[in-house]
Amino acid sequence: MVLTKKIHNFSAGPAILPQEVLKEAAEGILDFTKGLSILEISHRSKEFEAVLEEAKSLVKELLGVPDGYSILFLHGGARLQFVMAPLNQLTVNGYAAYVNTGTWATGAIKEAKIIGKVNVIASSEDKKFTYIPKGFTIPADADYLHLTSNNTVYGTQYRQLLESPVPVICDMSSDIMSRKINVSKFALIYAGAQKNMGPAGTTLVIIKNDFIKDPGRTVPTMMSYKIHVENNSLYNTPSVYAIFVCMLTMRWLKKVGGVEYIEKKNREKADYLYAEVDRNPLFRGVTVKEDRSVMNATFVLSKPELETTFNQMASEAGLSGIKGHRSVGGYRASLYNALPFESVKALVEVMQEFERKKG
């Protein structure tokens, strides 16, 4: 199939992948090795073991993962990690500290409360999650602190992640691989792959080995980090194809210059779009400027009655996926790693044309 018109994919996830990765992924379906599809080979074959080891090696290289950490590819998305993290790390007699910055943090808190005691130490719910809480105290006796680094629904992001006296667990589903991080500051990082790493179907987990402990409860085998580490993500059949495409995507990221390079490009895209949102009188940003997400730019029309007109113009220009999350409305342009600058430029040009016609 050949597209006759360029589609600019701003989808929040599953999200845009590099074109060369899509081609390689398609080739892998048809013939990965010796006439067999990647969909047909055993997850315990030497061919897939090589894929898994390369994927883990690329995670370690691109993110600078130090020794003493294990890298896993698991099922269930970030939502399963909402459960696995407290099930494994929240002790029976202890408690966990959570910061609530939006939809996914709220979901993580809800699940953790089923497992044990949770203290929500800060929240931006009072202003509809339009900012990142600051100036709060992290209790030194908590089992861990849980953060959500980027909030896809509301468009906020921690620009600098917190210093903590207790181990930090962080949901990085929507900004993993988009910027440099100091992995040693975290005890556990988890991220659904479908934003910057690959397709839906697998979840990256990076866990500090000495953070794996006995929480004082029986943990079901499939929910145990210890079991998955001991079995190298192969306790059960992993998401073979999703891991394969993650490997290809990380190869691409390394080829173009790695995380440091892509962080600069992502910032250029975000700055360009936010400058137009702030300049154009027909648009208004939703979040506090200092907490704006580089990954998910959210904005609304200053004249909501013109929504149909703008939507039509965006569609005619090949802009896909800019509608805001169903829970908040408005618009959201996701600026993930594989989105080219030309797509952001196309969106800005539509916004400027919209101003000329309706401003």
Catalytically annotated residues: 104, 171, 195
H helices then E strands: how many in the chain?
9, 14
CA angle 250, 253, 258 (to 5 degrees): 115
In angstroms, the CA 303 to CA 294 distance is: 25
Residue 345: C-alpha distances to residues 144, 321, 348 (Å): 42, 15, 5
Is residue 193 within 8 A of residue 200, CB to CB? The reply is: yes
Radius of gyration of the chain (CA): 21
Phi/psi of residue 347, nearest 5 degrees: -65, -45
Residues for the chain: how many in total? 359
Amino acid at 66: P
In angstroms, the CA 245 to CA 25 distance is: 6
